[in-house]
Amino acid sequence: MPPTDLPPTDLPPTDLPPTDLTPTDLPPTDLPPTDLTGDYVLDPTRTRIAFTAAHRFGPKVQGHFTTFKATLHLNATTPTTSTAHLTIQSNSLTTNNPRRDTRLHRDFLNTPTHPK
């Protein structure tokens, strides 16, 4: 049975049935840290680099970059030697508002001078 000595929460009750499983009954899902060591490339079709800009007045503006490249090297034995490299094409910024995007590219990112 789930533990009954947990602190109360403000979360609404769920419609899920109670379970008698404890963490020791579940199959392991975490890899040992040393198995994570290696080189990784982020898949741009499954990764999104997004942002939300808040203004003093008016709505928040959401946008994202469509073109980027990211590589990671993870060292589980010595995590401080792990590295990440991210390159974003500045002209790939979009907020789905062409007028705003033109101004952001020109006045804020200066994409002709700073393409990445």
| Residue 70 belongs to domain with CATH number | 2.40.128.110
Range of the domain at 99: 32-108
Does some domain include residue 73? yes
Q: How far is CA 22 from the centre of its chain?
A: 30
Total number of domains constituting the chain: 1
The pLDDT of residue 4 is: 46
Enter the pTM of the model.
0.62
Does some domain include residue 52? yes
> pLDDT digit string (tens) for 21-57?
444 544 555 656 567 889 999 888 888 999 998 878 8
The stretch 95-100 carries a mean pLDDT of 94
75 contacts 81 by C-beta, under 8 angstroms: yes
Between CA 26 and CA 105 the distance in angstroms is 50
Task: Look over the chain and give the mean of its residue pLDDT values, rounded to a whole number.
Answer: 78
Does some domain include residue 27? no
Find, among 20, 63, 68, the residue nearest to 41 by Cα. 68
75 contacts 37 by C-beta, under 8 angstroms: yes
The dihedral through the CA atoms of 88, 92, 95, 99 has a sign that is positive
Q: Which two tokens stand for residue 17?
A: 């049935």
